[in-house]
């Protein structure tokens, strides 16, 4: 049976966009050590071993979001106690970026709790992008849905990445969010691509979904004509007052276990070999052993710092100590997909 299943899995680790759900499910079903071994092989074929990209995420506008995402403490539908704030002043954002750079971050990500940015906010957002880039940091923003014109404004300002997660599988999406569709998510990603901005898109696991949903989630990303340059894999941080936080408080067995989380990272690495796979939310509750398995399985990017938007994070000191114990070092070079695009060498999962 295992040999039959293995025959559906391509041996060539080069980027491809023709994965079937059956092939991805077969990867998930592999014995754990075999899956991690294969993912490590793919990782080393395309990335420098022992290097982890350090990124920092700042909430530049917190709370008051009109969306009803079941996992989000910043939704107006949530009773999480988070109060809405105004957009941060540009100088305050730049000060945070400078501190992140001093702490070793290479990419500075800025998130606003909006359904979509208003035109009145674009000048400040653009000033933030330009200011952070002048420091020598890569820039990333997540502001909700974008029109083609807004994507172009951000591209003209020099934005390196735009984050817009698909969150979960297409089939489960409406159980998590009802105020915008899965197609709306893809439309924003298309606008970002068309503007020439690199894409950061992943999702959240541990929301009570099945493995079939995780297969669908990875399949949706891995079959994009051009794979996302960054693929954040979040473990749900259940927040009391949110739909999913309340649900999982009553049904703790629905939470994803560590081995299944590592499997998800490994399958993402195999199916999207050139992308940066990032351990994102939920890392503060993971043991170093679990994080180590994730790194072995091909995760090569993390958010560092004490906070991710409104959720707690491991912190710079804890990460530095872990890196020292594991013999890891911060990544200095260029990400593979960006490097390939720079020289016009993209193919397969990196369409020109």
Q: pTM value?
A: 0.88
Model confidence pLDDT, tens digit, residues 64-121: 788 888 888 888 776 767 777 899 999 999 999 999 998 888 899 999 989 999 999 9
In a domain, 199, yes or no: yes
- Catalytic positions: 65, 69, 72, 109, 140, 200, 278
Tokens representing 37 are: 């071994």
Percent helix / strand / coil, the chain, rounded to 5: 45, 15, 40
**Closest by alpha carbon to 261, among 221, 295, 238?**
295
What confidence score (pLDDT) does residue 347 get?
A: 47
Residue 163 pLDDT greater than 90, yes or no: yes
Tell me the CATH number at 184: 3.20.20.70
**Closest by alpha carbon to 311, among 73, 127, 122?**
73
| DSSP type of residue 136 | T
Residue 311 pLDDT greater than 60, yes or no: no
> Which range marks the domain in which residue 318 is found?
15-342
- b/e string for 85-97 if b means 16 or more Cβ within 10 A? eebbebeebbebb
Model confidence pLDDT, tens digit, residues 280-307: 887 888 889 999 999 999 999 998 865 4
Sign for the pseudo-dihedral over CA of 220, 235, 31, 266:
positive
In a domain, 348, yes or no: no
SS3 for 182-198, per residue? HHHHHHHHHHHHHHCCE
Task: Share the mean pLDDT of the chain.
Answer: 86
Q: What is the mean pLDDT of residues 21-50?
A: 96
In a domain, 58, yes or no: yes
Cα separation, 55 vs 108, in Å, equals: 6
Q: What is the DSSP string of 286-346?
A: S-HHHHHHHHHTT--EEE-SSEETTEE---HHHHHHHHHHHT-EE--S--HHHHHHHTT--
What confidence score (pLDDT) does residue 1 get?
A: 34
Q: How many degrees, rounded to 5, is the angle at CA 100 between CA 99 and CA 106?
A: 140
In a domain, 132, yes or no: yes
In a domain, 1, yes or no: no
Q: Which of 25-34, 81-90, 111-120, 181-190 has the lowest mean pLDDT?
A: 81-90
What confidence score (pLDDT) does residue 303 get?
A: 86
In a domain, 3, yes or no: no
pLDDT classification of 4: cutoffs 50, 70, 90: very low
In a domain, 352, yes or no: no
In a domain, 114, yes or no: yes
Q: Residue 186 in contact with residue 167, Cβ under 8 Å?
A: no
β-pair partners for 312: 307
Q: What is the mean pLDDT of residues 219-224?
A: 97
Instruction: Map residue 234 onto helix, strand or coil.
Output: strand
What is the number of domains present in the chain?
A: 1
**Closest by alpha carbon to 4, among 16, 22, 19?**
22
What confidence score (pLDDT) does residue 43 get?
A: 96
In the chain, pLDDT over 70 holds for what percent of residues? 85
- b/e string for 255-276 if b means 16 or more Cβ within 10 A? bbeeeebbbbbbbbbbbbbbbb
pLDDT classification of 152: cutoffs 50, 70, 90: very high
């Amino acid at each position: 049976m295992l040999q039959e299943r293995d025959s559906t899995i391509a041996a060539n680790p080069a980027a491809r966009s023709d994965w079937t759900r059956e092939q991805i499910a077969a990867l998930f079903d592999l014995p754990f050590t075999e899956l991690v071994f294969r993912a490590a092989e793919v990782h080393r074929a395309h990335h420098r071993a022992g290097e982890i990209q350090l990124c920092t995420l700042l909430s530049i506008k917190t709370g008051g979001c009109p969306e009803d995402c079941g996992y989000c403490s910043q939704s107006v539908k949530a009773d999480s106690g988070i109060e809405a704030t105004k957009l941060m002043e540009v100088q305050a954002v730049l000060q945070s970026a400078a501190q992140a750079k001093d702490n070793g971050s290479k990419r500075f990500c800025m998130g606003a709790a909006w359904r979509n940015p208003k035109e009145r906010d674009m000048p400040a957002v653009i000033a933030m992008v330009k200011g952070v880039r002048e420091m020598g940091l890569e820039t990333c923003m997540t502001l909700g849905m974008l029109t083609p014109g807004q994507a172009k404004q951000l591209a003209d300002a020099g934005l390196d990445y735009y984050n817009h997660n698909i969150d979960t599988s297409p089939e489960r999406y409406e159980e998590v969010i009802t105020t915008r569709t899965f197609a709306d998510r893809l439309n924003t990603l298309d606008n970002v691509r068309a503007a020439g901005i690199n894409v950061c898109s992943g999702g959240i696991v541990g929301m009570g979904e099945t493995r079939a949903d995780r297969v669908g989630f990875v399949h949706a990303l891995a079959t994009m004509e051009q794979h996302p340059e960054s693929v954040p894999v979040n473990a749900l941080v259940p927040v009391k007052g949110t739909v999913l936080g309340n649900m999982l408080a009553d049904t703790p067995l629905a939470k994803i276990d560590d081995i299944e989380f590592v499997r998800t990272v490994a399958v993402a690495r195999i199916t999207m070999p050139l992308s940066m796979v990032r351990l994102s939310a939920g890392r503060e509750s993971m043991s170093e052993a679990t994080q180590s398995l994730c790194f072995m399985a091909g995760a090569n990017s993390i958010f560092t710092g004490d906070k991710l938007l409104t959720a707690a994070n491991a912190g710079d000191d804890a990460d530095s100590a872990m890196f020292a114990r594991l013999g890891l070092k911060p990544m200095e070079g260029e990400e593979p997909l960006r490097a390939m695009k720079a020289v016009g060498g993209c193919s397969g999962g990196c369409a020109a």
